Amino acid sequence: MSEYILEMLNISKSFAGVQALKDVTIRCKPGQVYGLVGENGAGKSTLMKILAGAYRADAGEIIYKGEQREQASAGEVIDSGISIIYQELALVQQMSVAENIFLGREPRYTLGVLNLRALHSRAAALLKRLGVRLDTRLPVSELTVAQRQSVEIAKALSQNADLIVMDEPSAILAGSELDQLFRIIESLVEQGVTIIYISHRLEEVFRIADTVTVLKDGELVDTRSIDQLDRPTLVELMVGRPLDEIFPQTEHEQGELILVAENISTNTILEDASLALYKGEILGIAGMVGSGRTELARALFGADPLTSGTITLVGDKSARWNNPSQAIASGLVLVPEDRKTHGLFTSLSVRINITLPILSFLTRFGVLQSSLENKIVAEAQERLSIVMASADQEAQYLSGGNQQKVVLAKWLETDPAVVILDEPTRGVDVGAKFEIYKLMRQLNDRGIGIVMISSELPEVIGMSDRILVMNNGCIVGEVAQEEATEAGIIELATMADAGANHS
Amino acid sequence: MNMSARLFGGLSDSQRLFLRRYGPIFAVYGFIIVLFIIGATQSERFLTVRNLTNVARQSAFLGIVALGQMLVILTAGIDLSVGSLVKLSILISAIVMNGESANQGAAIIATLGLGLLVGLVHGFLVNEVKIAPFIVTLASLGILRGISLSISTSPVGKASREFIMFYVQKVGPIPVIAIMFAVLLVLTWLLLRYTVFGKYLFAIGGNEEVAHLSGVPVKLVRYGVYVICSVTASITGLLWLSRMGVGDPAIGDGIELQAITAVIIGGTSLFGGRGTVIGTLGGVLLLGITANLLVMLGVNQFVQGLIQGIIIVAAVAIYKQEGD
């Protein structure tokens, strides 16, 4: 048997012509912690889904415990000793800790009668192995997120896992809970379990990993032992590549001040944030997932009530607001991150999706003027080059990029002064991205100020006039476009304990 | 902070959990006690052995289908067809029995077989054709009713003498039918608490995807649960034959809604994954006693529906308080 428990050799995978993974090789020795790092879209999740049996690789082979593995179902993968713990924990809320750990493999007597004593004592033993104290009879709905994660890990152990993949486990944990997780990982490693730890928080990787593999744009950048790495080198490995997208630029002077937020906090992670937005500029908001970017957008839009601070729209429309409908009336628009649940009526026609916010202006004596409606939809279609069969097509049948354009079109009809875009190009292809960028510049030309939240650093740097970096609920820095580098932003966004001095 | 959190402030976590989970059920039983007090003080006939026997027997009729319904609802499903299946069951059993005790066995087997078949069809359509349970059973509500009424619109067939006697048989003061319900109640409780099948019902209703990925045989369990539910309807059809003596096609209408009402009052979540047998019993008794008491007090029967509606809203409002 080879010295490796797992070898994934020359793995390639593409989706609809987009190369998600290209010739990636990783090798894991038993009883070690492997850090798998890379930006969003680097291919980490795809690689692990291939390991989990959820995707089939186009090329390459997987050698597990010395044997070549054929395509396997999710169940077969689990049986072979590989467990994957996803961010969205897979537990049944209403069932108890012990029932969740042994779901599908309950200790039983004949005729399907449960052995309750064994169920609880075995669950307690597993939790003890992890050093976790937990009542095995409590329903999972009563547990903290960290405790639920322990239950997932215990479930993996109960399946005799030799290899546990943790997909961004820290994203949902608070500081002290993270220490607990690291203790669990250390005790697992002592018991000979191999861990693949996916994260983009470099501090954690340096703290827990023995070996680090860096992926970028679906390709393996490097695999190095942790003691051959320092922070700047790792950052360099993660981002070290020229931008290969074209970002349309416009020449413009800094316009008048249009939106001011002073020291705003809400009941979320967001704390003491201040910003100013000028006419015709794009203000980029960078930061890792969970750093408070979306919370900032929601606060600006009045979706979360402020606990302190003020937000003012200045200029000829000087106004304040306390809720989204007032914000919209004042000239603010939020295009949310998850357009399927927050931005789009997927089962309704493109027409109604575009005209909904202004329907009341399209009536005469209460009767909808469909000619007016058609005109507006036709104009929007042309201006944004929305590809659709007809205005009556259901929005769900459009491509991601066209859906995003419909959402944009809908809000542009309200003639806003400020547009907040949360992940405007998530899930759209490169061509549509470029069109959305062009559209953003058109808005700028009309004097509209844009606040753009994005996880894609090339996009933030390429499109923003100024960039605010968020970390841990606070704005930790402002960078001008000319000075911005991916490394610099990542450095700011991943500083440990950042923002603590703000609170 | 919600009401229960305020009420249960000074307790330990497990006590608080217990109260939050079972508090509303205590409320249901508290309400039943209130009804008893009203009945005892306001009506001379309410607190008599004769009347209470009657209540027990009638509750058993509703209770048996409510148990089956509860299992389906625990998986986040629903079965709207039970009323129509009761109707078809009483017709089939009466026709097969045809007044002869020699035909009893055949009648029972035919009726239970009918339940088995209907349950399997429901399971097939939900599992394999992937039609929503509401739609599948809404269709079969219509189909089974249509079959029944095309068999006959007036009473047909006949129960045997012994079979009619079953309805009035008692052990001491307790009707045999009520004992039968009690046995099924305990069996259901054991099923939910001590068997793998029972746990799988909660798992499927709680999070079907997780259950599936954990290796729970989701389809098999679902076949099982629809069969059980349909068989409870067949059993109820047989009990109705024992009560009526003939295959009366007027029987059965609206039973499914009564059963669903009882289950919901008992605290089972319509979204699945949450519910207790003791709660369902409470829901059945509450409906049974309310109906009986309203008759005793001479209240117009049309008002009954109104009061039932109020009870549903009140009960669900109380359960909402337990929310996270």
Q: CA of B184 to nearest chain A CA: how many angstroms apart?
A: 17
Q: Which residue of A has its CA nearest to B214?
A: A104
Contacts of A94 in chain B (CB under 8 A): 202, 205-206, 273-274
Question: How far apart, in Å, are the Cα atoms of B119 and each of A242, A299, B137, B231, B254?
Answer: 63, 52, 10, 8, 19
> Phi and psi at residue A306, in whole multiples of 5°?
-75, 140
* B157/A342 Cα distance (integer angstroms): 60
**Cβ–Cβ pairs < 8 A, chains A and B:** 69
Q: CA of B199 to nearest chain A CA: how many angstroms apart?
A: 8
Mean pLDDT of chain A: 83
Per-residue confidence band for A316, with pLDDT thresholds at 50, 70 and 90: low
pTM here is 0.70
DSSP annotation string for A240-254: -S---S---------
pLDDT of residue A339: 62
Which of B191, B268, B226 shows the shortest CA–CA distance to B79? B226
**Is A94 in contact with B324 (Cβ distance < 8 A)?**
no
Strand bridging mode A363-364 / A367-368: antiparallel
Q: Which residue of B has its CA nearest to A105?
A: B215
Residue whose structure tokens are 């307690």: A124
Domain ranges of chain A: 6-239, 245-331+416-503, 351-415
Q: Which residue of A has its CA nearest to B204?
A: A92
Which residues are within 8 A (CB) of A416 and not within 5 positions of it... i.e. 6 or more apart? A328, A331, A332, A333, A448
**SS3 call for A51:** helix
**Is A90 in contact with B207 (Cβ distance < 8 A)?**
yes
Contacts of B199 in chain A (CB under 8 A): 95, 99, 103, 106, 114
- Please state the ipTM of this predicted complex: 0.75
**Is A90 in contact with B199 (Cβ distance < 8 A)?**
no
Digit-coded pLDDT (tens) for A116-132? 999 999 999 999 888 88
Q: CA of A199 to nearest chain B CA: how many angstroms apart?
A: 24
B265 is written with which tokens? 């009052």
Q: CA of B195 to nearest chain A CA: how many angstroms apart?
A: 4
**Is B199 in contact with A95 (Cβ distance < 8 A)?**
yes
Could you tell me if B216 lies within 8 Å of chain A, comparing CB atoms? yes
Q: CA of A134 to nearest chain B CA: how many angstroms apart?
A: 12
A148 is written with which tokens? 């639920």
pLDDT in tens, chain B (324 residues): 344 444 545 566 667 777 777 777 888 899 999 999 999 998 888 989 999 999 999 999 999 999 999 999 999 999 999 999 999 999 999 999 999 999 999 999 999 999 999 999 999 999 999 999 999 999 999 999 999 999 999 999 999 999 999 999 999 889 999 999 999 999 999 999 888 899 899 989 988 877 877 778 899 999 999 999 999 999 999 999 999 999 999 999 999 999 999 999 998 988 888 899 999 999 999 999 999 998 888 888 788 888 888 888 888 887 776 543
Q: Which residues of chain B from 146 to 205 reach within 8 Å of chain A, CB to CB?
A: 194-197, 199, 202-203, 205
**Is A106 in contact with B199 (Cβ distance < 8 A)?**
yes
Q: CA of A88 to nearest chain B CA: how many angstroms apart?
A: 11
* A457/A480 Cα distance (integer angstroms): 14
Which comes out higher in pLDDT, residue A177 or A16? A177
Q: CA of B161 to nearest chain A CA: how many angstroms apart?
A: 38
Q: Which residues of chain A from 123 to 142 reach within 8 Å of chain B, CB to CB?
A: 135, 138-139, 141-142
Which comes out higher in pLDDT, residue B16 or A384? A384
Mutate to test the interface with A, among B194, B196, B322 (most CBs of A within 10 A): B196
- What is the CATH number assigned to the segment(s) A6-239? 3.40.50.300
Q: CA of A112 to nearest chain B CA: how many angstroms apart?
A: 5
DSSP annotation string for B255-313: HHHHHHHHHHHTT--TTSS---HHHHHHHHHHHHHHHHHHHHTT--HHHHHHHHHHHHH
Q: Between B196, B205, B210, which is nearest A90 by CB?
A: B210
Could you tell me if B209 lies within 8 Å of chain A, comparing CB atoms? yes
Please give the radius of gyration of chain A, using alpha carbons only, rounded to the nearest integer. Answer: 25
Which of B257, B276, B264, B275 shows the shortest CA–CA distance to B315? B264
Could you tell me if B212 lies within 8 Å of chain A, comparing CB atoms? no
Q: Which residue of A has its CA nearest to B18?
A: A138
Angle at A401 between CA A399 and CA A406, to 5 degrees: 90
Interaxial angle between packed helices B196-206 and B176-194, expressed in degrees from 0 to 180 and rounded to the nearest 10: 70
Question: How far apart, in Å, are the Cα atoms of A187 and each of A27, A153, A194, A196, A428?
Answer: 22, 12, 11, 15, 42
Q: Which residue of A has its CA nearest to B191?
A: A113
Per-residue confidence band for A244, with pLDDT thresholds at 50, 70 and 90: very low
Could you tell me if B215 lies within 8 Å of chain A, comparing CB atoms? yes
Same fold, A6-239 and A245-331+416-503: yes
Which comes out higher in pLDDT, residue A53 or A102? A102
Mutate to test the interface with A, among B18, B22, B199 (most CBs of A within 10 A): B199
Q: Between A94, A112, A116, which is nearest B206 by CB?
A: A94
> For domain A245-331+416-503, which architecture applies?
3-Layer(aba) Sandwich (3.40)
Could you tell me if B20 lies within 8 Å of chain A, comparing CB atoms? no
Q: Which residues of chain A from 85 to 124 reach within 8 Å of chain B, CB to CB?
A: 90-95, 99, 103-106, 108, 111-114, 116
Which residues are within 8 A (CB) of A96 and not within 5 positions of it... i.e. 6 or more apart? A136, A137, A138, A139, A140
Q: CA of A22 to nearest chain B CA: how many angstroms apart?
A: 29
Torsion-angle region of residue A450: left (phi > 0), alpha (psi -120 to 50) or beta? beta
Contacts of A92 in chain B (CB under 8 A): 202-203, 206-207, 210-211, 273
Strand bridging mode A257-266 / A306-313: antiparallel
Question: How far apart, in Å, are the Cα atoms of A481 and each of A76, A262, A281?
Answer: 50, 23, 11
Digit-coded pLDDT (tens) for A90-117? 899 889 999 999 988 899 988 889 999 9
| Helix extents (H) in A413-502 | 430-445, 457-463, 486-494
**Is B206 in contact with A135 (Cβ distance < 8 A)?**
no
Max mean pLDDT range (A135-149, A362-376, B25-39, B124-138):
B124-138
Mutate to test the interface with B, among A78, A86, A94, A147 (most CBs of B within 10 A): A94
Percent of chain B that is helix, strand, coil (3-state, to 5): 75, 0, 20
Q: CA of A113 to nearest chain B CA: how many angstroms apart?
A: 4
A84 is written with which tokens? 């994957």
Which residues are within 8 A (CB) of B199 and not within 5 positions of it... i.e. 6 or more apart? A95, A99, A103, A106, A114
Digit-coded pLDDT (tens) for A250-267? 666 678 889 999 999 988
Per-residue confidence band for A496, with pLDDT thresholds at 50, 70 and 90: low
A260 is written with which tokens? 């001011």
* B5/A491 Cα distance (integer angstroms): 43
pLDDT of residue B280: 96
Contacts of B322 in chain A (CB under 8 A): none
